[in-house]
Structure 1
């Protein structure tokens, strides 16, 4: 048993003893102290970077959560408006959210007036806890499907998964779901800045939204596209994702695409498009030719669009088999 688990066990036992002997007021105060005592450690500061006139981000260099990075795997983005700061994706824990708040208070020195969660995977919204505590009553926007999933099973599932993946470093994080639904075409105006919502159906998940910062010609794409990392497609669609890229390029008018993972650039959608086509199209051909999933994987690995990206794509070797199987099953379903 590691130290943190031992301390949690001792705290839980002490709390049970307190229930038996303490009055309700004392018990409530003690429970709060116990909760604070078992919280995971603070996350080290990561610097703010300015991306465009109104957009800043805290870049997360890691692609996956580990005990060492304490779950710091998702970019946290801020839109600086005349009304205050808008957060796009709040990070994977209360500790990460608190770190982000420290950074904006040092550099931007403005209050946070809203949060937008791009989808329901926990590395993008578990940090809501810190912002909701620091800015009571803050509106938290998301697609209705995302609100439903976080308020249901996905909320506690992702909190538990993040604790497991980080060896309890994120302990103390509460599930704080979004509270305000938005959908495709809706515009949120914050003084001098307009944020336009894009939703094109099932892509990375069924309820992804992308956030266009109209004045900056920049769009935060969440996990619809990534930089040097393949998006988890367990709940997504290759065909839907490729269609979303085409729709974003047509309708957003952006020159910068800011992903949830990796660095922003004008090439993020194209990088992902070529990689996804290199995975999905060989699977389509394999289905048409009656080839097995293993034979489809061999075709994918030989495809130059995939082979050229294998070396610098985080988690490629450990995940490409799963990505091929998902593409194969989607292509198979489409063929019937």
Structure 2
């Protein structure tokens, strides 16, 4: 079987209408096609992601901050924070990013901090901007590298959500994430699990559905810091398509009671001691008005007007990424949830 000519460009090949996912789907046709698909996957691999220097948050925890909240061709899918813990036993990743290229950038940045190996990964939930980077770490450390997630998240990554997010990230970034392979978690953790990494203890928190059904927050006990994934965000309106406002409030209550922290680390935005409070106020302004509208027999449009007039929401509009384009949808989600709760 002849190979693609070296002089052909990645973009020329993509003009044929085949993205990486589509080409790899040909593998079932037989060994020759499988070999061809493997060649093509390498050939159309997206470009490297520019380095982003990590910032130290506490004694053991570092974060590679993402300035963008949504994926674009320009940011190559770099839209969520990458957090890592440097322990006595090695480096533990708390969400490795949204592509193999982002994961490889994270590996380069870890090397500027420590020469210790990566010994574990935690995926906070099943949205792909947080776990598609698993691929780079499996390549670097092998298939036995422990990758932990809640059982619900593991199942979704192995199934529909994994395939969907893989395809969406390619589409949103104009194929910049091409070459990324789905590497699902190979371990599960439940609420209350504690993992010992020598001088660092990681404690798992799960309080039911919130941002997704399978969110986990990871408490770095010795540092009084908790990585909350997308359960809470800083100056970005959360994707609530798979979530619940009532469940999120319950999650916040339990975290504040059981994971007392001086730093909350979000998947999007800057870490601080105010992350939960900021997001709680925004969500209370959205959901509280929708619940009142439902109880009063007001329409969804009237609920939206109430939400936008609420100081808890209006005061955050100017500096919240994605506010204008998403607030209507999230009011709709809140209104429908309020209807279920009320009746």
TM-score, normalized by length of structure 1? 0.93
**Residues 1:227 and 2:234 aligned together:** yes
Corresponding position of 1:237: 244
Alpha carbons 2:10, 2:43 under 8 Å: kept:
no
CA gap of 1:324–1:149, structure 2 versus 1, over 3 A, is same
2:210 to 164, 188, 203: 203
Corresponding position of 2:225: 218
1:106 deviation in Å?
2.6
C-alpha separation in 1, matches of 2:270 and 2:37: 41
Corresponding position of 1:53: 59
Alpha carbons 1:11, 1:34 under 8 Å: kept:
no
Corresponding position of 2:4: none
Q: Which residues in structure 2 correspond to 1:109-188 (within 5 Å)?
A: 109-136=115-142, 137-188=144-195
**Residues 1:86 and 2:92 aligned together:** yes
Higher mean Cα deviation, 26-35 or 237-246?
Answer: 26-35
**Residues 1:263 and 2:263 aligned together:** no
Can you give the 5+ residue segments of structure 2 that lack an aligned partner in the other structure?
1-8
CA gap of 1:29–1:333, structure 2 versus 1, over 3 A, is closer
C-alpha separation in 1, matches of 2:328 and 2:107: 39
1:98 to 88, 98, 104: 104
Corresponding position of 2:41: 35
C-alpha separation in 2, matches of 1:234 and 1:29: 38
Secondary structure in 2 matching 1:107: coil
Alpha carbons 1:94, 1:173 under 8 Å: kept:
yes
RMSD: 1.9
C-alpha separation in 2, matches of 1:157 and 1:142: 18
1:182 deviation in Å?
0.2
Alpha carbons 1:4, 1:168 under 8 Å: kept:
no
1:287 deviation in Å?
0.6
C-alpha separation in 2, matches of 1:11 and 1:28: 19
C-alpha separation in 2, matches of 1:69 and 1:117: 21
CA gap of 1:29–1:324, structure 2 versus 1, over 3 A, is closer
1:110 deviation in Å?
1.4
